[in-house]
Structure 1
Amino acid sequence: MANVLRILALAGVASWALAAAPVAAQTLTPTAAGAYSPTAANATGASGAPNGNFLTGAASGESRRSYLIYSIPAGQLITSATLSLSAALVADGPNTINVYDVSTTPSTIAAGTATPGSTYTDLGTGVVFGTAVATTNSETLTITLSADAITAINAARGSSIAFGFNNETLSAATDYVFGGSINSTPRSLILVSAPAPAPVPTLSEWAMIMLGLTLAGGAALYLQRRRQIG
């Protein structure tokens, strides 16, 4: 009898622990996209809009570094993150694109009120969050973001985060990725959250569990005695 109750109790607790919510994934689209040159804020078409052109590299001899801004939901801890981006038009590929941390306030970048020179520098220097190589037009770049990026995203929960993009292999007057990227898709940030912890039973729920175990144990004892009599 004691062994039966012990097994049933362990099974009940284990099933409760396994009742945690499954791992959840969220796909976010940017609240703003665009690019800065050393001399101009929001130096591409529709810069600052969610569907803005975020050309990264050089066009007509002028270098540009770009940004994407995302609003990060408050809530569960983020455990991994991936950027899924259409390369749109690629000139003079292959081009290596690095993703950087950005210290300039996201709202200032999107509004085009950030100082062009220092913001251009900010978008292409600092901590590298990820990298990708773009070769052909319209290919989808999948960039797995680093542990440093996950830390920054978690710190931004309930607010916004900006990612900077730089063409690390810039070598010609016309040499870019994400060219003509107004309305290009995908431009997604995919976040994976840790599962929610299993709920802790209340006193009344524990009482119901114990009642169920007692009834089950009594039934097991009854069947055992029936077998002995038979």
Structure 2
Amino acid sequence: MDHAVNSSALGAVAASGLSPLDLFLHASIVVKLVMLGLIGCSAFVWAVIVEKIILMRRVNREATEFEDRFWSGGSLDDLYDSDGAKPVHPMAAVFGAAMGEWRRSARISGVDLARGGVRDRVDRAINITVSREIERLSRRVIFLATIGPVAPFIGLFGTVWGIMHAFGSIAAMHNTNLSVVAPGISEALFATAIGLVTAIPAYIAYNVTTASIDRFAERMEAFGTEFAAILSRQSEERS
């Protein structure tokens, strides 16, 4: 009875071909769960990739537009009221943090930015804001770093399990003909293929996204340094 069932299952796979759908449908339950898990991870990986591409393009565009307004020669107070008080993008947040700290320090202590303590507070406000914005931009990137190295091993587990299952069926049939062996082995190897298809985009996207975020962090830090210098010069001119 078992011999007939196994022969029928393997025969069905051989007859229907080795398409991805057929390989999935005729795989064991454990291999199916591995495949479904990897497919779910792959879908999430691509969702993160698309989200980060759109996000980084948007924040870079907004930063460029803000820097154009900043360097246009307009009033810093007006720019703070329009963009810095309630920032909606990272560059405006850096500007708002520095300008807000400078205003508070001058109002409360009655001193200017030339005093070292005020300068340190402004620099600290800039650094904290840059770190917070980078952390926000980096959300879910750690998932890419995790899936990249882990997905192939999950697929390999499905392959090992599928091969064990295939050899068990072969032993029960007492038949090592290639037409009998190939479908079961193909089902098992398909799990590794899905693991690689999931891991490769995740690994590439992690490196590209991390590099893009690092460049934007350097851009915010450079802007913060320049703005702190401008505040320092203005304070010295007024004193």
TM over 0.5: no
TM-score (norm 2): 0.29
Higher share of residues assigned helix: 2
- Structure number with bigger Rg: 2
TM-score (norm 1): 0.30
